[in-house]
Structure 1
Amino acid sequence: MLRILVFAGLAEAVGAPQVRLELALPARVEDAKRAFALAYPAAAERLASCFAAVNHEFAEDGAWIQEGDEVAFLPPVSGG
């Protein structure tokens, strides 16, 4: 089971600040994104522009997620 923190519009799309996915670990970030998009199709389009972080560090799609890692999907933000 993988817990993923989500923020801003992505959290609004899934209706919660975090989700749990059935995903065998270790897995890659791209696997988590694929599982997320399948579980939450209404949020899949927003996920395409999101950054991933593993243990508070930005992570590329090929990065590994291990048991106990903190994973977050972060939409881009703009400020003024």
Structure 2
Amino acid sequence: MRVLYFAWVREQIGMSEESVDPPEAVCTVADLAEWLKDRTPGHATALRDLTRLRAAVDQQFVPLDSTLGNAKEVAIFPPVTGG
């Protein structure tokens, strides 16, 4: 699975994307974020407060409790606004 990071999430983690192979116990976007926290101190910092994050699975905006299924790509980013 490819995980993409944007804005301050990317800055704190120190990369814009990575390929991961989460264990079967990782079923939701929130599970994935929790699992990713252990990768580096930057991941732990960026993902510590899930209420400050939004996600997209295979380019569709989803709530963090959404199941991953056979997702090929997950994007994690701060809330966005339009104007």
Q: Percent identity over the alignment?
A: 28
Equivalent of 1:58, from 41, 44, 61? Answer: 61
Equivalent residue pairs, number: 79
- Of the structure 1 ranges 11-20 and 23-32, higher mean CA displacement relative to structure 2 is found in 23-32
Contact 1:46 1:75 in 2 (8 A): no
Equivalent of 1:41, from 44, 62, 71? Answer: 44
For residue 24 of structure 1, report the CA deviation from its aligned partner.
2.4
User: Equivalent residue of 1:38, what SS?
Assistant: coil
Q: Distance in 2 between matches of 1:46 and 1:62?
A: 14
* TM-score normalised by L of structure 2: 0.73
User: Equivalent residue of 1:35, what SS?
Assistant: helix
Residue aligning to 1:74: 77
Determine which structure has the larger strand proportion and give its number.
1
Residue aligning to 2:31: 31
For residue 68 of structure 1, report the CA deviation from its aligned partner.
4.6
User: Equivalent residue of 2:38, what SS?
Assistant: helix
* TM-score normalised by L of structure 1: 0.75
What runs of 5+ residues in structure 1 fail to find an aligned partner? none
Aligned pair in 2 of structure 1 residues 52, 17: CA closer, same or farther (>3 Å)?
A: same
CA RMSD of aligned residues (A): 2.4
